Structure 1
């Protein structure tokens, strides 16, 4: 079953059925978990992975697995992509994309604010291979254009970005990239395919951390790169040779999560909007950042680019250094923990000084733009599926006591 089998189906139907079909032997309705590392094969099957290109049967799970393949087909259908390669983590997916697209002497333009793992990769390891990296505030299209060099091969953006929920204009940046002979990759983890399909806006690659909204339950780690089939075949080679394979069991858990993704994202958005409005009017909150609010500086772009505003909120609080430990000790419903996109709400304080000193290493203009959103630090709140009234009450009972 190809991704295109569900090209004209509704989103929820695609989330449930794409990549799946009843087992031909048992007639099981749910997909099997094929927990086998190797597969019985014919005597003339090549031993080297390099000679297995185009083979339709399975050989060894690092090179391909039926359960992982089902997940890849489902993701490709949701993103409108020709192909997908699933990895053992989001960072494995990002790393494979970078090493496939870039070599010594090439130049990468990247969002100056992005997931810390990706930011640290581009600050340390990638330049050590002779690859130039320019970090730029990708909300500023002129800055993106000015960063382009003759050897620029890739622009990588994250929208909405982690942790300050700032947006970048995918369509406009795709045009800039293609005019320069470069490609555009978009980390769309915060948005999910329910909100945004970057390929339809001109992007060449989409990256997801499957551990977040796509899994949705905080119990499996995975990553994926999606795009054109010819590009993805090279990325799959890196998966095979660098060994970032996804466990079939995790693939099965993530598929199970995706089945409810559209209805979960609707509930995340509804809850986030209620919590954001509550926090925006709270006396202990200095600044509220949520794309679904008119107060977000890029609300109009969000309305054009996102069909769902997702469940990610960032906010500045008065006396944040006191509020953070109070949240960790007193919250009853919301967990004080990292990660995001789970059914349960998660909150964590992210210090601006720490980010600027360690992960981001921005110049003064970029740092000032970051501070315009984050101040001295932001609480990143992943709004879950609990009752919004309970979430507001949980936040209020801590902040109100601290504020007295």
Structure 2
């Protein structure tokens, strides 16, 4: 049966599994060898070449989910994005980068690109016209992130892709927040998709990994750089990631459902000044999100009203965990100003709208009423302490 005819849960469960020909086990065997025969073999396997059995087959699952010809697994999301950039940029080249972007990516660009003589421009906004205005004669790449981290801005994927194609520019996207369950950028014209696989693909807060998916031509170019940089992943972690991805669609859909309800709850709460969630009709790009996403995702951010200390609020949470990462089955919150965007200066955070009252909320699979109650009691207890 063609992969294109398989349902989402079937792809998650079966595509990319390794058949246990020896013992007929129900799950993929794990191959931990770092040394393989080189003579009279179809594939000369070497861990740093991203082609051990577990690496090779997991890449097939990710490619199937993102509707691409090929994919690669990396040691982290930053390894994935840095290898992807360096495969398409060299001295004298220019990249246009969306201004509402993950802080680690922004910091990598600002800290490292000048060492390679790579020029860059952060857009003034995230409309297609903002990207067009930033293009220069030497622009080789346009990078977007939608929904963005942490303000959940929505970029017109098809619009940016069409603009880039008209000028012969390659496009890349960070699809981490959406996951392949909620969004497939390749179908909208984007050239290369990357993920922090630590997040939704792993889903259990116990895996560090990254992924890139694209055409075989583009992936060959990325592989040619990556084999020299050495950002491959151990096969034990690769096996854990393949196992975790079997439940990807089930997990994400449950998280989506919770997030829709919690966004509405927070949006009506008197002590919340603003909610950033594309599933709300009040979100400025709600209609665009409906057009290019299958669902609105399980990430949101919100701002508490002035006078309620955001850190004090988080310390009052009993069920939801104040935690650095996101997208696990457990709900977590953090302050972007102190974590994901801490590497930016206060001025840089102000420019992109990262206030000290902003809380990023990664919604898990817990029962909705329990999450709602935890938020309510934390706000009430914080107010009691603050105004005592």
TM over 0.5: yes
Q: Which residue of 9, 14, 18 maps to 2:11?
A: 14
Partner of 1:401: 381
Partner of 1:48: none
Moved more, 4-13 or 99-108: 4-13
| In 1: Cα distance, 2:337 partner to 2:350 partner | 13
Which ranges in structure 1 are unaligned for 5 or more consecutive residues?
45-54
Partner of 1:159: 146
Deviations 1:253-295 (A, max 9, x none): 1111211111111111110011111111111100011111111
Q: Structure 1 pair 354/306, CA: closer, same or farther in 2 (3 Å)?
A: closer
Q: Which residue of 151, 161, 169 maps to 1:182?
A: 169
Q: Structure 1 pair 320/223, CA: closer, same or farther in 2 (3 Å)?
A: farther
| In 2: Cα distance, 1:153 partner to 1:79 partner | 23
Partner of 1:189: helix, strand, or coil? coil
Contact map agreement 2:201 2:245 (CA 8 A) in 1: yes
1:102 aligns with 2:102: no
| In 2: Cα distance, 1:246 partner to 1:239 partner | 12
Q: Which residue of 126, 133, 136 maps to 2:123?
A: 136
Partner of 1:51: none
Which ranges in structure 2 are unaligned for 5 or more consecutive residues?
none
Deviations 1:314-338 (A, max 9, x none): 000024762313313x211111011
Contact map agreement 1:313 1:380 (CA 8 A) in 2: yes
Q: Segments of 4+ in structure 1 off by > 3 A?
A: 352-357, 359-362, 374-377
Partner of 1:344: 330
Deviations 1:335-371 (A, max 9, x none): 1011111000010012399949826975xxx955x33
Q: Which residue of 241, 246, 250 maps to 2:233?
A: 246
1:302 aligns with 2:289: yes
Moved more, 4-13 or 268-277: 4-13
Say what the alpha-carbon RMSD is for the aligned residues.
2.1
Partner of 1:292: helix, strand, or coil? coil
Partner of 1:277: helix, strand, or coil? helix
Q: Which residue of 266, 274, 283 maps to 2:261?
A: 274
Task: Give TM-score scaled by structure 2 length.
Answer: 0.94
Contact map agreement 1:350 1:380 (CA 8 A) in 2: yes
Alpha-carbon deviation of 1:296?
0.9
Contact map agreement 2:16 2:57 (CA 8 A) in 1: yes
Contact map agreement 2:182 2:297 (CA 8 A) in 1: yes
| In 1: Cα distance, 2:93 partner to 2:253 partner | 41
Q: Structure 1 pair 256/352, CA: closer, same or farther in 2 (3 Å)?
A: closer
| In 2: Cα distance, 1:186 partner to 1:127 partner | 22
